[in-house]
Amino acid sequence: MLTLTTDSGKKYRVRPKPLDISIPLHFNGPQPNSYGVPFAQSHAFEGGGFVGDVRRGGSCNFEVYTFIPHCNGTHTECVGHITRDRISIHERLKDSLIPATLITIMPRSPHEVPDTYNPEFNPDDLIIDRISLEKAVTSTGNEFLSALIIRTLPNPEDKQFRDYTQHSAPFFSIEAMSYVRSLGVKHLLIDTPSVDRMLDEGKLTAHHIYFEIPAGKNKETQPVDYTITEFIRVPDEITDGIYLLNLQVAPFMSDASPSRPQLYPLSIED
């Protein structure tokens, strides 16, 4: 069994069976969706008398897939999401087994907290606020904050198939994302479609804070290796605490890729 030793000298046993916190993408089936884009689809390739479907007499299954990683399911993005420079997730994601902390947050109305956002809050907004984040993170310590995984409440099963043009999603306030940045988090994972409000006038305020690019600027001169993973799904039976994160992505030369984050549970070694 693999053993992890932290900088403070604590030793942990890494349990061999990982916990998958991605949403499987069912092409042509139930799936999450944001911004009202077309749902992910697949169809058999046909050409020159060949049909890529064994059920239709083809010799093998040979399909064409159409999807938008940012909107059709679990995906991981890099700073290239908001820069003029074409920076790819394949180039920026360099970590393998990542010390991670899972926390659970109940989003709050902006009227309950002093947090802010740009553009201004809407009356029905729900946010991940700084105070709630501070309370949740303080109880875990900081040795496992290379990655921060946030599960929001409530956490029903239909999050896996929710159409977010019909359901609003919580997002990060300026103060909350600034706090995440101050923790030194390199990999942020969230079970919502975006760290920003879906209709935010194109400002992407939280993205800019996290990737350390001033608001209104889209020229990146020193590419950071931070990532954001959105549309995850953390079942209730996975408890808050520390893990090793294996963040698997397809080797796409693009700003985002479908991904499969997995958590390896840890136990203190006697």
**188-217: pLDDT as tens digits:** 999 999 999 999 999 999 999 999 998 876
**DSSP structure class, residue 180:** H
Q: If 0-12 CB within 10 Å is exposed, 13-18 middle and 19+ buried, where does residue 230 land?
A: buried
CA pair distance 96, 108, nearest whole angstrom: 33
184: phi > 0 → left, psi -120 to 50 → alpha, else beta; which?
A: left
Q: What are phi and psi of 111, to 5 degrees?
A: -70, -15
- pTM of the full predicted structure? 0.95
Q: Which residue has the higher pLDDT, 139 or 234?
A: 234
- Is the distance from CB of 175 to CB of 115 less than 8 angstroms? yes
Distance CA 132, CA 130 (A): 6
What domains lie within the chain, and their CATH numbers? 3-22+72-268 (3.50.30.50)
d(CA 241, CA 243): 7
For the chain, give the number of residues: 270
127-128 and 171-172 as β-strands: parallel, antiparallel, unpaired?
A: parallel
For residue 265, report the phi and psi dihedrals to the nearest 5 degrees. -65, 150
> Above 70 in pLDDT, residue 219?
no
pLDDT tens digits, residue range 139-163?
666 789 999 999 999 999 999 999 9
Segment 261-268 mean pLDDT: 94
How far apart, in whole angstroms, are the C-alpha atoms of residue 208 and residue 219?
11
- Tell whether the model's pLDDT for residue 1 goes beyond 80: no
* Rounded Cα–Cα distance for residues 244 and 96 (Å): 9
Name the band, by pLDDT with cuts 50, 70 and 90, for residue 47: very high
Residue appearing with tokens 């549309």: 231
As a whole number, mean pLDDT of residues 96-124 equals 96
- pLDDT in the model for residue 196: 98
pLDDT, mean over the chain: 94
- β-bridge mates for residue 230, sequence order: 75
How confident is the model over 68-99, as pLDDT tens digits?
999 999 999 999 999 988 999 999 999 989 99
By DSSP bridging, strand 147-152 and strand 97-105 are parallel
